Amino acid sequence: MKFKPEKYSIPDEPMKPFMDAAEIEHFLSQARPDKAMIRNIIARSLDKNRLTLAETAMLVKADDPSLIEEIKDGARRLKESVYGNRIVLFAPLYVGNKCTNNCQYCGFRISNKAAVRKTLSHEEIISEVTALEDKGQKRLILVFGEHPDYSPEMIAGVVRTVYGVKKGNGEIRRVNINAAPQEIEGFRMVKEAGIGTYQIFQETYHPGAYTWYHPSGRKKDYAYRLTSLDRAQEAGLDDVGIGALFGLYDWRFEVMSLVRHTNHLEACYNVGPHTISFPRYQEASLVKLNGQYRVSDEDFTRLIAILRLAVPYTGLILTARESPAIRKEAMRFGVSQIDAGTRLEIGAYAQTGSEVQDLNREQFRINDDRPLNEVMEELFDGGYIPSFCTACYRLGRTGEHFMEFSVPGFIKRFCTPNAMLTLAEYLVDYAPENTAEKGWKLIEKELQGLNGQANTKDIRKRLERIKAGERDLYY
Ligand code: SAM
Ligand code: SF4
């Protein structure tokens, strides 16, 4: 894998801020893309190179519709040739919405007196997780506000509780976290509870905008947040997720900055982020933003395609903030994980009648509230294979996206069979009849599509073992 060296005004050093906004603007103002250049850059990406900031700026500045189409087509080709058709599914579990910060875009901000505050009790966590398991979920992300109550000890305790909930064949096999930045010791404590990814979004990488949106609380400190995942790395937590909240500042600047953050982590720790998230701002309780930086659907799908090409080996997460139609379109450009069956209201999974969204009890409005099986069926219809696989993480095969990307045949030998096995568990244990019928047909089609590139005989045997009651089989 070749990385074209690129020098920055602030050299990368562990635990030190690395963003120079003027430099990012400079890259953008210098970029003069033309067709030949865009094609060369796409070819470099398809040739398995992470793009430089100068190259990413060319993609970002390519406003001509025919160039945008080339970029989207490049992202589609990369997705098809490298990743195939798997989509990993997860669900968010909001544990508590107390918050001492005052993020101007968030329903949980301290100044929002209309917000109904709640933290799940031990019993309520068990009920929520049981309800999620009963739907067939295997992977969760736990979400917390930033508050002294949500200490690293508390978060680690919740993680252990979640792993301990087992009902029938139900269990949670991977718990990720989206919570406040920790000190090194705090990250260590949470890691020891057995988490997968720790996600922290910078929200906006532009220091001026950041200061405006975060007027008070711990989160006010831009540099502390920017270096938080360095501290995670120092704690030995090398599975981290970065993100920007699109709609707060110019999307072009944020895309460039996500790439800058990626190459900072690579430069200092030899490993980039496991995932990149690109949530788009959604309506939230009593929030009024002027919409100056609203990202249109066209620009949103475009920026996803650019990110896919710029960081070809990093997982991309798209959440239920987006409508089914946008999710369907965006998946073609290389999204690798989506949530499904999502509820944001704290305690909602275990309640019936909680389908109606109440903004005072939720962080923001979601646009895809379909149940898990409906999302699965749409994936089947679109030729995707939903996966609940957690094999790499549990076998210590870290850097899984990198392996998928760089080890020839890895996907056919490991990922696709594991997707089939975890899907089969879902079909036997949780799927309504109609969903199950479609799912088995898809598995058969996938088996035939493997064309001897994996041991289909062995996969068939394992599928039979699952039908006979065995669980948790993986390669
Ligand atoms: N409180 C922790 C923090 O801020 O880092 C945990 C994450 S917060 C509960 C989850 C993420 O939701 C935030 O990082 C932010 O990007 C996103 N978010 C906040 N308000 C939002 C809104 N109105 N629309 C969409 N996403 C939003
Ligand atoms: Fe609190 Fe996080 Fe919301 Fe900011 S984004 S107000 S820190 S929950």
Q: What are phi and psi of 386, to 5 degrees?
A: -70, 145
Rounded CA gap, 325 and 357, in Å? Answer: 20
Would you say the CB of residue 282 lies under 6 angstroms from ligand 1? yes
Judgement on whether residues 231 and 108 belong to the same structural domain of the protein:
yes
Residue 16 predicted with pLDDT over 60: yes
Distance of CA 52 to the CA centre of its chain: 22
Strand 170-171 and strand 166-167: pairing?
antiparallel
Would you say the CB of residue 196 lies under 6 angstroms from ligand 1? no
pLDDT in tens, 112-128: 999 999 999 999 999 99
338-370: string of b/e by CB count within 10 Å (b at 16+)?
bbbbbbbbbbbbbeeeeeebebebbbbebbbbb
Which one is predicted more confidently, 400 or 63? Answer: 63
Judgement on whether residues 358 and 412 belong to the same structural domain of the protein:
no
Ligand 1 pocket: which of 363, 366, 368 to mutate (most atoms <8 Å of CB)?
A: 363
Asked if residue 59 belongs to a domain, the reply is no
Asked if residue 62 belongs to a domain, the reply is no
Asked if residue 161 belongs to a domain, the reply is yes
Would you say the CB of residue 178 lies under 6 angstroms from ligand 1? yes
Distance of CA 363 to the CA centre of its chain: 17
pLDDT in tens, 363-380: 999 999 999 999 999 999
Q: What is the mean pLDDT of the chain?
A: 94
pLDDT in tens, 275-318: 999 999 999 999 999 999 999 999 999 999 999 999 998 999 99
From 330, 354, 370, give the residue that closes a domain.
370
Task: Please state the domain count of the chain.
Answer: 2
**For the CA of 145, the nearest atom of ligand 1:** 1
CB 441 within 8 A of CB 434: no
pLDDT in tens, 436-470: 999 999 999 999 988 777 789 999 999 999 999 99
CATH of the domain at 337: 3.20.20.70
**For the CA of 203, the nearest atom of ligand 2:** 5
Would you say the CB of residue 180 lies under 6 angstroms from ligand 1? yes
What average pLDDT does this structure show over 400-410?
Answer: 73
Judgement on whether residues 191 and 247 belong to the same structural domain of the protein:
yes
pLDDT band (50, 70, 90) for residue 4: low
pLDDT number for residue 461: 96
Asked if residue 153 belongs to a domain, the reply is yes
Q: Going by C-beta distance under 8 Å and a sequence separation of 6 or more, which residues neighbour residue 144? A: 94, 95, 96, 150, 155, 177, 178, 179, 180
pLDDT number for residue 2: 43
Judgement on whether residues 332 and 402 belong to the same structural domain of the protein:
no
Asked if residue 39 belongs to a domain, the reply is no
- What residue numbers bound the domain in which 340 lies? 81-370
Rounded CA gap, 60 and 307, in Å? Answer: 10
Judgement on whether residues 128 and 273 belong to the same structural domain of the protein:
yes
pLDDT number for residue 454: 75
**How many Cβ atoms from other residues are within 10 Å of residue 166's Cβ?**
12
Residues with CB under 6 A from ligand 2: 99, 101, 103, 106, 108-109, 145-146, 219
pTM flag (> 0.85): yes
User: How far apart are the CA of 16 and the centre of ligand 1, in A?
Assistant: 24
Please classify residue 418 by burial: count the beta carbons closer than 10 Å to its beta carbon, then call 0-12 exposed, 13-18 middle and 19+ buried.
buried
* DSSP string for 387-452: E---HHHHTT---HHHHHHHSTTHIIIIIHHHHHHHHHHHHHHT--HHHHHHHHHHHHHHHHHTTT
Residues in the chain: 475
Q: Which residues pair with 175 in a beta bridge?
A: 140
Rounded CA gap, 105 and 321, in Å? Answer: 14
**For the CA of 282, the nearest atom of ligand 1:** 24
Q: Going by C-beta distance under 8 Å and a sequence separation of 6 or more, which residues neighbour residue 449? A: none
Rounded CA gap, 251 and 259, in Å? Answer: 13
pLDDT in tens, 171-193: 999 999 999 999 999 999 999 99
**How many Cβ atoms from other residues are within 10 Å of residue 464's Cβ?**
11
What average pLDDT does this structure show over 226-246?
Answer: 97
Asked if residue 387 belongs to a domain, the reply is no
Judgement on whether residues 344 and 447 belong to the same structural domain of the protein:
no
Which one is predicted more confidently, 52 or 406? Answer: 52
From 370, 388, 423, give the residue that closes a domain.
370
User: How far apart are the CA of 181 and the centre of ligand 2, in A?
Assistant: 11
Would you say the CB of residue 146 lies under 6 angstroms from ligand 1? yes
**For the CA of 217, the nearest atom of ligand 2:** 7
Judgement on whether residues 359 and 400 belong to the same structural domain of the protein:
no
Ligand 2 pocket: which of 106, 359, 360 to mutate (most atoms <8 Å of CB)?
A: 106
Residue 3 predicted with pLDDT over 80: no
Residue 89 predicted with pLDDT over 50: yes
Rounded CA gap, 281 and 366, in Å? Answer: 10
Residue 1 predicted with pLDDT over 50: no
Judgement on whether residues 191 and 142 belong to the same structural domain of the protein:
yes
Q: How many CA atoms lie within 13 A of 305 on its CB side?
A: 25
Would you say the CB of residue 203 lies under 6 angstroms from ligand 1? yes
CB 300 within 8 A of CB 281: no
Would you say the CB of residue 105 lies under 6 angstroms from ligand 1? yes
pLDDT number for residue 48: 87
Would you say the CB of residue 145 lies under 6 angstroms from ligand 1? yes
> Where do the DSSP E strands lie in 270-353?
275-277, 315-318, 337-339
pLDDT number for residue 354: 63
Residue type at 175? V
In this structure, what token pair is assigned to residue 142?
Answer: 């736990």
pLDDT in tens, 316-337: 999 999 999 999 999 999 899 9
Asked if residue 12 belongs to a domain, the reply is no
Judgement on whether residues 319 and 442 belong to the same structural domain of the protein:
no
Q: What percentage of residues in the chain have a pLDDT greater than 70?
A: 97
Asked if residue 378 belongs to a domain, the reply is no
3-class DSSP state of 170: strand
Rounded CA gap, 260 and 272, in Å? Answer: 11
Judgement on whether residues 264 and 412 belong to the same structural domain of the protein:
no
pLDDT number for residue 356: 78
Judgement on whether residues 350 and 427 belong to the same structural domain of the protein:
no
In this structure, what token pair is assigned to residue 346?
Answer: 């704290």
From 370, 404, 426, give the residue that closes a domain.
370
Residue of minimum CA distance from atom 8 in ligand 2:
145
Rounded CA gap, 420 and 442, in Å? Answer: 9
Would you put residue 98 in left (φ > 0), alpha (ψ -120 to 50) or beta? Answer: beta
Judgement on whether residues 178 and 323 belong to the same structural domain of the protein:
yes
**For the CA of 97, the nearest atom of ligand 2:** 8
pLDDT number for residue 413: 86
What average pLDDT does this structure show over 419-434?
Answer: 97
Would you say the CB of residue 181 lies under 6 angstroms from ligand 1? no
